[in-house]
Structure 1
Amino acid sequence: MTSLDASELILNEDGSIYHLNLFPEDLAPTVITVGDPDRVAEVSKHFATIETKKGKREFITHTGWYDMQRISVISTGIGTDNIDIVLNELDALVNIDFKTRREKINKTSLNIIRIGTTGSIQKEIKVDSILASQYAIGLDGLLHYYQSESVQEADMQEAFIDQIHWPSTHPKPYIIAADQGLVQAFQEDHLHLGTTATNVGFYGPQSRVLRLPLSNAKLVDSLSTFHYKNQRITNLEMESSAIYGLSKLLGHKAISLNSIVANRINGTVTQDPKLAMERLIVFALDKISKI
């Protein structure tokens, strides 16, 4: 087992991991990821105690205790490129020895729970509801930079490419399943289960038009018609596929919980996004406390 070069495992002068600015002891076994740095405090305000507050750039981390569970909440910023940083560095914190720069023999598996906002593309999934992603479809291409075929849902991917007539100029879609144990742990009657499309951008890649014409103006309509066995694409966001893919490759368990703040088909938006997010946070923490 070779030692990692300084250019591969980059540490700060104090020995913390480069982007997250964390030491291994700063990280809890359960990690909540949020996109917005301001949302970290909205989660940690529910903790009984907070033992660690650290940050660098958009990556803010609070670690503390909620109902006998040690939890870290970390902001990722928006997009799968940021998730590539966060997931690799979270894994390094628990599975690489920073002193020897070698991979540990005995691996640690984290529970990674994304709490984020999303837009529904199915009429019946109303604003202010909560959806857990059983599958995530990556339209961003990130996972193809890794040897990832073993974790991809190949049959579902081919069905998607055929039904949507996916352009050859776009990255090849990949589909990853959530950790089924976490899906069961978060199951509730009011919880929607669905397939989430992870987009590479917020405007053109999600068929939003401001001033630039689109190469495929009907993309969202096409996505909403996809079906595979009992699965449909239910919502759009920008991180879940990378979280699912990298988690599976690295041996971690992941689930994405989504607050529906808009319905693209109905043209509706939530009237109180802060309240909608607070409901999701409380729901998630309650479920995490029972894992």
Structure 2
Amino acid sequence: YSLLAENREYHSYIGQWNGQDVAVVSHGVGAPGAAVCFEELIMGGAKYIIRVGTAGSYQKEITPGSIVISTASVSTDGLTKQIVPAGFPAVADRYIIEALARAATDHNGEITIREGITLTLDAFYSGVIDFPHELYKKAGVLAVEMENSALYVIAALKGIKSGAILAIDGYADAELRKEYNPHTNHVAKAVEAESEIALNAITTI
């Protein structure tokens, strides 16, 4: 692989995986900055985007070190509210999800892998207003992160295919969270596995 360009948090690399050309690009934290990345990748000709990231789990059985394939996202971020009407769905492309699920079978038995709905929010740290995490936990949302809604909505508007895979680095649910330590061996193993899954998936679409 080789460095294509770098500016602020956006570092772009190009290389080959399974004999196919792929680009790997960092987008930073949060929907607005990530949206700039997604929009400009599409302007540059990207037809498939898989976001590889981390998330906090809402569900007890989805422990740190697990992997979640995000089929859709609850949009509580501010970015998507400014580009589409309220109620516009943020949904991954089914072909991307199927490709991720197929690629993930190589890791069955060694890492917990789940598919389902995730949630996108803006605030990493809490303030004086409590976010209703408990409601989304009860509704079956698997995990929370900060960029998926932006990707799914922009991909829908621009007519490309997108999906996301997330390594769980802790619990977002206060009742389950004892401490937040995203630097464990379990999390590092999940990040490595999700990266391999994403690369294998995007080169088989």
- The TM-score with structure 1 as length reference comes to 0.61
Give the match for residue 30 of structure 2: 79
What displacement does 1:56 show?
0.8
Q: Which one of 112, 115, 120 corresponds to residue 193 of structure 1? A: 115
Give the match for residue 159 of structure 2: 251
Q: Distance in 2 between matches of 1:196 and 1:117?
A: 11
1:235 counterpart letter in structure 2: A
What displacement does 1:282 show?
1.8
The unaligned stretches of length 5 or more in structure 2 are none
Compute the RMSD of aligned alpha carbons: 2.0
Matched-pair identity in %? 27
Q: Which one of 141, 145, 156 corresponds to residue 82 of structure 2? A: 145
What displacement does 1:260 show?
0.8
What displacement does 1:51 show?
4.5
**1:58 matched to 2:6:** no
1:267 counterpart letter in structure 2: R
User: Over alpha carbons, which structure has the higher Rg?
Assistant: 1
Q: How does 1:152-167 map to 2 (within 5 A)?
A: 154=87
Give the match for residue 264 of structure 1: 172
Q: Which one of 130, 138, 145 corresponds to residue 216 of structure 1? A: 130
Q: Which secondary structure does the structure 2 equivalent of 1:119 belong to? A: strand
Give the match for residue 51 of structure 2: 114
Q: Distance in 2 between matches of 1:51 and 1:117?
A: 24
Q: Distance in 2 between matches of 1:70 and 1:140?
A: 32
Q: Which one of 119, 124, 148 corresponds to residue 202 of structure 1? A: 124
Give the match for residue 285 of structure 1: 199
From the superposition, tell whether residues 119 and 183 of structure 1 become closer, same or farther in structure 2 (CA, over 3 Å): same
Q: Distance in 2 between matches of 1:89 and 1:290?
A: 23
Deviation string for 1:135-165 (max 9, x for gaps)?
A: 111111312322x35xx8x4xxxxxxxxxxx
Q: Distance in 2 between matches of 1:53 and 1:91?
A: 16
Deviation string for 1:154-210 (max 9, x for gaps)?
A: 4xxxxxxxxxxxxxxxxxxx5411001111111145431111110111012xxxxxx
1:125 counterpart letter in structure 2: I
The unaligned stretches of length 5 or more in structure 1 are 1-49, 95-108, 155-173, 205-211, 227-231
Q: Distance in 2 between matches of 1:254 and 1:127?
A: 25
**Higher mean C-alpha displacement, 254-263 vs 278-287:** 278-287
What displacement does 1:122 show?
0.8
Q: Distance in 1 between matches of 2:39 and 2:202?
A: 23
Q: How does 1:96-115 map to 2 (within 5 A)?
A: 110-115=47-52
Deviation string for 1:228-287 (max 9, x for gaps)?
A: xxxx21101100000100011011111010001112342265632323211211222223
What displacement does 1:290 show?
2.4
Give the match for residue 20 of structure 2: 69
**1:239 matched to 2:176:** no
Aligned residues: 191
Q: Which has the higher contact order (CA 8 A, sep 6+)?
A: 2
Q: Which secondary structure does the structure 2 equivalent of 1:233 belong to? A: coil
CA contact (8 A) 2:96 2:201 kept: no
Runs of 4+ in 1 over 4 A off after TM superposition: none
2:98 counterpart letter in structure 1: Q
Give the match for residue 61 of structure 2: 124
Q: Distance in 2 between matches of 1:287 and 1:234?
A: 22
1:193 counterpart letter in structure 2: E
